Amino acid sequence: MKTFIIGHKCPDTDSIMSALVMANLEKNFGNTNEIIPCRLGNLNKETEYILNYFNVEAPMLIDSVKDADDVILVDHNSFLESAPDIADAKISKVIDHHRISNFETTEPLFYMAEPVGCTCTILYELYRMNNVEIDSTYAGLMLSAIISDSLLFKSPTCTPKDIKAAEELANIANIDINSYGLDMLKAGTDLSSFSASELINIDSKEFNANGARFQVSQVNTVDIDSVLKNKSEIEFVMNELISQKSLDLFMFVITDILNCNSKAIVLGNKSSVVEKVYNTTIDDNVAFLPGVVSRKKQIVPQITENI
């Protein structure tokens, strides 16, 4: 019997770490299946940096859950974000910090959701609730995910629970949060080797709302203009996806992690929604979004409501 644990497509650090950490928790809970942490895509550079730092093997790359007897979802619930055949799988647990949408099961399940900044914050609570000891490696992995999802506590998604968990985990892992956190985040901003279509797929999510379909990709950087140097190639790929998937709106959000601002390349027949939501003008397909760093809190709800 096999239990697969998977995060979302275009896996970010939280999806990867949550799969690894949840696998460790399941073993402690006495799950006797073969427990296999999995991923639905390539690692980003930030995640690679973290796995190298702690000398931990990446989850198994999969494109289907057909070999699993049951599946545990971490860091997502939407089937749009999951394995293509997830609707046919038995989902036994979900641990997540996103809104619940496009999700349905035929059987009862364990579902733990909290509006905190990171799935690993919830996993940390699960360790504590169940008196499972946290070793320094798993503490480091969870800490890294919290730093990643909260942009070192600067994102509006970050809650006091995330900060408290991070501080306790940093203690266990014996890590200086700020210096390690900056190194880790900066490792993820090295975008030099990515093609335009790879850039768009580092961290990309699709949404349906009010009969419209939109996609929001996001990259982190310390220099927005250096990413915009490839603007015409990026626009070309975005326009291809717009026609392929009949998208009404596509935002490619470039986030400056030091100054906590973003610029977005905005394309699609509903582009004016972005001007309305942020009270801004789109100039040569680019909108400046001051203070915007969180897709989950500052982009998706507002676009969903207005599209």
Binding site for Mg ion (CB under 5 A): 12, 14-15, 75, 119, 149
Cβ 200 to Mg ion, closest distance in Å? 15
The edge-to-edge listing of strands for the beta sheet with 70-74 is 60-61, 34-39, 2-6, 70-74, 91-96, 110-113
Of the two residues 15 and 159, which places its CB atom closer to Mg ion in the complex?
Answer: 15
Q: Compute how many other C-beta atoms are within 10 angstroms of the C-beta atom of residue 146.
A: 31
Of the two residues 1 and 222, which places its CB atom closer to Mg ion in the complex?
Answer: 222
Cβ 222 to Mg ion, closest distance in Å? 17
For helices 13-29 and 136-150, angle between their N-to-C axes, nearest 10 degrees: 140
∠ CA 268-271-274, nearest 5°, is: 145
Question: Which tokens belong to 272?
Answer: 């004016």
Cβ 203 to Mg ion, closest distance in Å? 6
Cβ 71 to Mg ion, closest distance in Å? 17
Of the two residues 12 and 235, which places its CB atom closer to Mg ion in the complex?
Answer: 12
Cβ 284 to Mg ion, closest distance in Å? 27
Cβ 82 to Mg ion, closest distance in Å? 12
Report d(CA 16, CA 40) in Å as an integer: 10
Of the two residues 149 and 235, which places its CB atom closer to Mg ion in the complex?
Answer: 149
Task: Give phi and psi for 247, each to the nearest 5.
Answer: -75, 145
Report d(CA 164, CA 94) in Å as an integer: 23
Instruction: Identify which of 232, 242, 159 has the alpha carbon closest to the alpha carbon of residue 196.
Output: 232
**SS3 assignment for 1-41:** CEEEEECCCCCCHHHHHHHHHHHHHHHHHCCCCEEEEEECC
Q: Compute how many other C-beta atoms are within 10 angstroms of the C-beta atom of residue 242.
A: 19
Of the two residues 81 and 235, which places its CB atom closer to Mg ion in the complex?
Answer: 81
Instruction: Identify which of 180, 176, 173, 181 has the alpha carbon closest to the alpha carbon of residue 136.
Output: 173
Query: Cβ(145)–Cβ(18) under 8 Å?
Result: yes
Cβ 293 to Mg ion, closest distance in Å? 10
Q: Which residue's CB atom is positioned nearest to Mg ion? A: 14
Cβ 106 to Mg ion, closest distance in Å? 26
**SS3 assignment for 223-270:** CHHHHHCCHHHHHHHHHHHHHHHCCCEEEEEEEECCCCEEEEEEECCC
Of the two residues 14 and 26, which places its CB atom closer to Mg ion in the complex?
Answer: 14
Of the two residues 75 and 256, which places its CB atom closer to Mg ion in the complex?
Answer: 75
Of the two residues 221 and 270, which places its CB atom closer to Mg ion in the complex?
Answer: 221
